[in-house]
């Protein structure tokens, strides 16, 4: 951390009175009495140090309240409301979202405090991952590319800034990441070929601080991985899930999505940097520190936005600063997050699109398994080995947990033009099954796995995971149950039938000394706590 | 049972096909927020105008040429609704960028030209409109050998029975998808063995790690906690599942080429 940064933080601390709801300096601590970011902290581990709810008390874990979204009709093109956001909880108030809507609830009772209703002019309503928070202010992304700041106390709009053009087929679904005096804003888009980017904006004014582009410009480093400027301009590398941050290294870690056109790679020979990558960016400038490309020259829609999870642990007996990711392409990666050096690359589901890894640990795509006009059979589902749903890492077990999907798909190339556009192909889902997998970070080996009895789907949605120091793992089973597993061996300890399947990542926090567990399932938020929690 | 199941599934898919295709394109357009459906008649009128006036620079399909940019990703085109943005640019040209003016085109022609471009955008951006191309590339004789040989397809299926005329009734895409793994599956049969040894068999209603429920042959509903009972779910498609690990792409394409000959 630079001296100027320290000075800035000191000035910030002074200027923001103690009365503010959330001191930005408090974000990043292990969350206990709040859940102030999408992942709870900056590591993306979704591990809570709370232990009130544990294997010896879980028999009395009971529903405290439910909040059902009843004041929003069917959403354009998607139907009923589905909560994919992880709620923030700050000073007794929960803030959560669905596309076009922000809700504030009394965290103790589940009663609505206010509701913000945005009228979009386009964009996908595929999901919204929640709000970011700084001081007394919230940040919300509308589907049509507006970065909107609200007053947390009443949901009134402060200002809005246009960050992406929905007419160009960008859409915005992310939860922004607030770090120091930066709000990090990612974008999505894949119907038309547009370049991806990540922006840092001022929390007070919304003004642009820096922008990192997912593709180089002609002549810049990385341009050699594209055949020409036209192909490079088709872009991709969307930044649609929140990344993570290391305060000591002052680096942001972000995943980038697929290149464009999605399935038709004939017009973009080369590895197509920096799509389908994990990138480390300097917080103050957005300059690239290092990258690791998970899917060079992707032609399978392997968005690599899955959470880059940060933890410190031993490799070969030496303490290392690590980054781990269970990627949509079916590989589990462990990197040194100081340098980007690859330490582990190992499939966590069967796959045949790759011929192994190169000397940097990056998978080598098999050209024979690219989408073909007459169909190419893949031994991995069309939605990938996992997807956006949050994973978890427990420092107590040393295991990385992911809800995986195993299966098969058939992929067609439908656009054979030398200048393809859009998706350029389509996929058919075949047999698949969902399984909770616990992966040993040192080897990438699956330590244990629990296959859910429910038949698998495309693999796009699904339940996130939370682990706790109370020796529990919470997730959902795709059949409407909230389930608690023993993190060390996968034994089921508790369940609750919610009727709708878990659709977000569970969050937990203490409120008046009582540990709450809050989860979203379809259109309903459920809050659990122990019946008698003061023992 | 399996023979009739495959036929039933394929028949059901056929019956629903036209409606699904329409829903697919419209539903995807709505989901993506692509705006209104382009007018096909106007786009067809605009095509020869585009070919005559624009394709020399912008390419035959408007995806860009040596001198003109890709118009499918053009901000002018994507911000246009009915020619109000595109029209003036074409009419006046962009001399600074080397684009000539086309003052002779009438307003109606400019509108048709705009609609042609919107149709090109629709066909690229709306993946609900995508059509699989000719997928019959395999060797039918090799497919027949696989059907009766390593695939063991003839163990359950007959080309003179359940699969008779399949090549007439269904598209190659439907056939390839269906033999890999049928998508519209009926609920499977399940047998629950109670602690007493009693067995209850019926159609599976619900199964998770905690509960199993079924409807028996008399239509009676049964529900049990998983603890203490044994559950066996019949998998009629186990052979299809095993083949997914066995096929290479040539086997798959050869089988498709064979099955489409069953007219």
> For A182-230, what is each residue's pLDDT tens digit?
999 999 998 999 999 999 999 999 999 999 999 999 999 999 999 999 9
Using the Cβ of B124 and the Cβ atoms of chain A, whether some distance falls under 8 Å is answered with yes
Considering the domain boundaries, does residue B7 fall inside one? no
A386-422 tens-digit pLDDT: 999 999 999 999 999 999 999 999 999 999 999 999 9
**Polymer length in residues for chain A:** 535
Burial class (CB in 10 A: 0-12, 13-18, 19+), A530: buried
Record: contact A423-B177, CB cut-off 8 A: no
Task: Report d(CA B218, CA B86) in Å as an integer.
Answer: 67
CATH no. for residue B97? 1.10.760.10
B172-205 tens-digit pLDDT: 999 999 999 988 678 899 999 999 999 999 999 9
A43 in helix, strand or coil? coil
Domain boundaries, chain A: 3-305+355-365+447-530
| B195 in the same domain as B122 | no
Q: Angle between the B249-259 and B140-148 helix axes, to the nearest 10 degrees?
A: 100
Kindly indicate the confidence band of residue B21, based on its pLDDT and cuts at 50, 70 and 90: very low
pLDDT for B74:
96
Task: Report d(CA B119, CA B117) in Å as an integer.
Answer: 5
Using the Cβ of A481 and the Cβ atoms of chain B, whether some distance falls under 8 Å is answered with yes
| B140 in the same domain as B56 | no
Record: contact A373-B134, CB cut-off 8 A: yes
| B88 in the same domain as B50 | yes
pLDDT for B75:
96
Just list the catalytic residues of A.
Answer: 301
Q: Which residues of B touch A431 (CB under 8 A)?
A: 181, 237, 240-241, 244
Which two structure tokens, joined as six digits, stand for A161?
A: 């800034």
Q: In whole angstroms, how far apart are CA B207 and each of A457, A521, B11, B188, B204?
A: 15, 19, 28, 11, 7
Which two structure tokens, joined as six digits, stand for A100?
A: 């076009």
Kindly indicate the confidence band of residue A455, based on its pLDDT and cuts at 50, 70 and 90: low
DSSP annotation of A224: G
pLDDT for B91:
97
A478-515 tens-digit pLDDT: 999 999 999 999 999 999 999 899 999 999 999 999 99
**How high does pLDDT run on average in chain A?**
94
| B216 in the same domain as B161 | no
Considering the domain boundaries, does residue B3 fall inside one? no
Kindly indicate the confidence band of residue A532, based on its pLDDT and cuts at 50, 70 and 90: confident
Q: Which residues of B touch A453 (CB under 8 A)?
A: 207-209
Predicted confidence (pLDDT) at residue B1 exceeds the cutoff of 70: no
Q: What are phi and psi of A189, to 5 degrees?
A: 155, 135
CATH no. for residue B200? 2.30.30
Predicted confidence (pLDDT) at residue A13 exceeds the cutoff of 70: no
Task: Report d(CA A221, CA A232) in Å as an integer.
Answer: 13
Which of B120, B132, B188 is the best residue to mutate to test the A interface, defined by the most A CB atoms within 10 Å of its own CB? B132
Split into its structural domains, chain B has a count of 3
Residue ranges with strand state E in A265-340:
277-282, 288-293, 309-315, 318-326, 331-336
Q: Which residues of A touch B25 (CB under 8 A)?
A: none
Residue B56: domain span: 32-129
Q: Calculate what percentage of chain A has a pLDDT beyond 90.
A: 90
B249 in helix, strand or coil? helix
Q: Lay out the sheet containing A93-98: strands in order across.
A: A88-90, A93-98, A101-106, A112-117
Predicted confidence (pLDDT) at residue A12 exceeds the cutoff of 60: no
A399 in helix, strand or coil? strand
Task: Report d(CA A48, CA A40) in Å as an integer.
Answer: 8
Which of A 300-339 lie inside 8 A of B, CB atoms?
none
Record: contact B247-A492, CB cut-off 8 A: no
Kindly indicate the confidence band of residue A462, based on its pLDDT and cuts at 50, 70 and 90: confident
Q: Which residues of B touch A410 (CB under 8 A)?
A: 176-177, 180
User: Which residue from A415, A153, A398 is spatially nearest to A263, judged by alpha carbons?
Assistant: A415
DSSP annotation of A246: E
B16 in helix, strand or coil? helix
B87-144 tens-digit pLDDT: 999 999 999 999 999 999 999 999 999 999 999 999 999 999 999 999 999 999 999 9
In order, the DSSP letters of A99-113 are TTEEEEEETTT--EE
Q: In whole angstroms, how far apart are CA A474 and each of A33, A484, A494, B49, B209?
A: 19, 5, 9, 61, 15
Number of other residues whose CB lies within 10 A of the CB of residue B47:
18
Given the candidates 3.10.20.30, 3.90.1280.10, 2.140.10.10, 3.40.50.300, the CATH classification of the domain at A3-305+355-365+447-530 is: 2.140.10.10
Residue A192 contacts residue B75 (beta carbons within 8 Å): no
Task: Report d(CA B32, CA A163) in Å as an integer.
Answer: 18
Considering the domain boundaries, does residue B11 fall inside one? no
pLDDT for B14:
29
Considering the domain boundaries, does residue B158 fall inside one? yes
Kindly indicate the confidence band of residue A454, based on its pLDDT and cuts at 50, 70 and 90: confident
B22 in helix, strand or coil? helix
Considering the domain boundaries, does residue B195 fall inside one? yes
Task: Report d(CA B138, CA A146) in Å as an integer.
Answer: 50
What residue of A is the nearest CA neighbor of B208? A453
User: Which residue from A279, A281, A397, A399 is spatially nearest to A348, judged by alpha carbons?
Assistant: A399
Record: contact B176-A410, CB cut-off 8 A: yes
| B38 in the same domain as B149 | no
pLDDT for A4:
62
B228-245 tens-digit pLDDT: 999 999 999 999 999 999
| B194 in the same domain as B158 | no
Considering the domain boundaries, does residue B6 fall inside one? no
**HEC profile of B106-140:** CHHHHHHHHHHHHHHHHHHHCHHHCCCCCCCCCCH
Residues 6+ positions from A414 with CB-CB distance below 8 Å: A263, A264, A373, A423, A424, A425, A426, B130, B131, B132, B133
- ipTM score assigned to the predicted complex: 0.91
Predicted confidence (pLDDT) at residue A381 exceeds the cutoff of 50: yes
Q: Which residues of A touch B206 (CB under 8 A)?
A: 479
Predicted confidence (pLDDT) at residue A16 exceeds the cutoff of 90: no
Residue B208 contacts residue A479 (beta carbons within 8 Å): yes
Which stretch of A15-24, A130-139, B47-56 has the lowest confidence by average pLDDT?
A15-24
Considering the domain boundaries, does residue B18 fall inside one? no
Interface A-B, measured as beta-carbon pairs within 8 A, has a size of 151
Predicted confidence (pLDDT) at residue A458 exceeds the cutoff of 90: no
The arithmetic mean of pLDDT across residues B63-74, rounded, is: 93
Record: contact A143-B33, CB cut-off 8 A: yes
Considering the domain boundaries, does residue B54 fall inside one? yes
User: Which residue from A400, A435, A519 is spatially nearest to B209, judged by alpha carbons?
Assistant: A435
pLDDT for A499:
85
Using the Cβ of A234 and the Cβ atoms of chain B, whether some distance falls under 8 Å is answered with yes
pLDDT for B141:
98
The arithmetic mean of pLDDT across residues A293-302, rounded, is: 98
């Amino acid at each position: 951390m630079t001296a100027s940064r320290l000075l800035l933080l000191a000035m910030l601390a002074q200027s923001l009175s103690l009365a503010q709801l959330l001191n930005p300096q408090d974000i990043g601590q292990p969350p206990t009495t709040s859940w102030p970011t999408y992942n709870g902290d900056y590591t993306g581990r979704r591990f809570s140090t709370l232990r009130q709810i544990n294997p010896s008390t879980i028999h009395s874990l009971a529903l405290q309240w439910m909040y059902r979204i009843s004041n929003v009709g069917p959403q354009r093109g998607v139907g009923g409301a589905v909560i994919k956001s992880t709620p923030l909880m700050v000073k007794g108030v929960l803030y959560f979202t669905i596309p076009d809507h922000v809700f504030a609830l009394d965290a103790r009772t589940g009663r609505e405090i206010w509701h913000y209703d945005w009228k979009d002019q386009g964009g996908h309503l595929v999901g919204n991952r929640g709000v970011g928070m700084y001081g007394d202010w919230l940040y919300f992304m509308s589907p049509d590319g507006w970065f909107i700041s609200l007053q947390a106390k009443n949901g009134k709009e402060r200002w809005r800034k246009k960050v992406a053009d929905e007419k160009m087929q960008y859409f915005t679904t992310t939860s922004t990441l607030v770090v120091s005096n930066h709000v990090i804003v990612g974008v999505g888009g894949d119907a038309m070929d547009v370049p991806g980017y990540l922006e840092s904006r001022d929390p007070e004014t919304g003004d642009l601080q820096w922008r990192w582009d997912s593709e180089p410009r002609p002549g810049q480093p990385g341009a050699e991985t594209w055949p020409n400027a036209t192909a490079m301009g088709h872009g991709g590398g969307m930044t649609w899930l929140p990344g993570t941050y290391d305060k000591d290294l002052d680096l942001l870690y972000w995943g980038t999505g697929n290149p464009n056109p999605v399935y038709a790679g004939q017009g973009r020979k080369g590895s197509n940097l920096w799509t389908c990558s994990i990138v480390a960016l300097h917080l103050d400038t957005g300059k690239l520190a290092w990258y690791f490309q998970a899917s060079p020259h992707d032609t399978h829609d392997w968005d690599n936005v899955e959470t880059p999870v940060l933890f410190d642990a031993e490799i070969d007996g030496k303490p290392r600063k690590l980054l781990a990711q269970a990627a949509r392409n079916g590989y589990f990666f462990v990197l040194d997050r100081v340098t980007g050096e690859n330490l582990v690359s190992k499939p966590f589901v069967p796959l045949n699109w790759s011929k192994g890894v190169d000397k940097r640990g990056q998978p080598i795509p098999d050209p024979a398994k690219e989408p073909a006009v007459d169909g190419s059979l893949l031994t991995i589902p069309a939605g990938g080995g996992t997807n956006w749903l949050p994973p978890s890492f427990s420092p107590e077990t040393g295991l990385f947990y992911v809800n995986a999907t195993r299966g098969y798909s058939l992929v067609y190339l439908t656009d054979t033009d030398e200048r393809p556009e859009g998706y350029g192909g389509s996929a058919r889902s075949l047999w698949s099954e969902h399984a909770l997998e616990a992966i040993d970070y040192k080897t990438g080996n699956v330590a244990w796995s629990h296959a859910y009895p429910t038949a698998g789907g495309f693999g796009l949605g699904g339940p996130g995971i939370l682990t706790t120091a109370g020796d529990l793992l919470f997730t959902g089973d795709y059949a409407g149950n909230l389930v608690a597993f023993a993190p060390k061996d996968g034994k089921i300890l508790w369940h609750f039938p919610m009727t709708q399947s878990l659709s977000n990542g569970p969050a937990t926090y203490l409120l008046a000394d009582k540990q709450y567990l809050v989860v979203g399932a379809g259109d309903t938020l459920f809050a659990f706590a122990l019946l008698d929690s003061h023992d | 049972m399996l023979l009739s199941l495959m036929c039933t599934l394929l028949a059901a898919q056929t019956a629903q096909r036209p409606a699904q295709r329409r829903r697919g394109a419209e539903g995807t357009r709505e989901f993506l927020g692509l705006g209104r459906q382009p007018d096909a008649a106007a786009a067809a009128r605009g095509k020869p105008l585009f070919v005559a006036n624009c394709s020399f620079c912008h390419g035959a399909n408007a995806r860009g040429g040596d001198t003109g940019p890709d118009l499918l990703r053009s901000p002018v085109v994507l911000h246009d609704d009915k020619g109000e943005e595109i029209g003036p640019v074409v009419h006046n040209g962009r001399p600074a960028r080397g684009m000539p003016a086309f003052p002779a085109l009438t307003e109606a022609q400019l509108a048709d030209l705009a609609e042609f471009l919107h149709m090109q955008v629709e066909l690229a951006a709306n993946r609900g409109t995508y059509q699989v191309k000719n997928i019959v590339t395999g060797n039918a004789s090799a497919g027949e050998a696989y059907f009766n040989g390593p695939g063991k397809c003839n163990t359950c299926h007959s080309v003179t029975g359940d699969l008779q005329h399949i090549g007439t009734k269904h598209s190659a895409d439907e056939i390839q998808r269906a033999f890999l793994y049928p998508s519209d599956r009926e609920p499977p049969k399940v047998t629950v063995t109670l602690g007493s040894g009693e067995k209850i068999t019926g159609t599976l209603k619900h199964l998770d790690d905690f509960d199993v429920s079924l409807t028996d042959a008399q239509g009676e509903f049964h529900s049990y906690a998983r603890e203490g009972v044994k559950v066996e779910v019949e998998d009629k498609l186990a052979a299809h599942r095993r083949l997914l690990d066995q096929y290479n792409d040539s086997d798959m394409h050869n089988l498709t080429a064979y099955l489409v000959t069953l007219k």
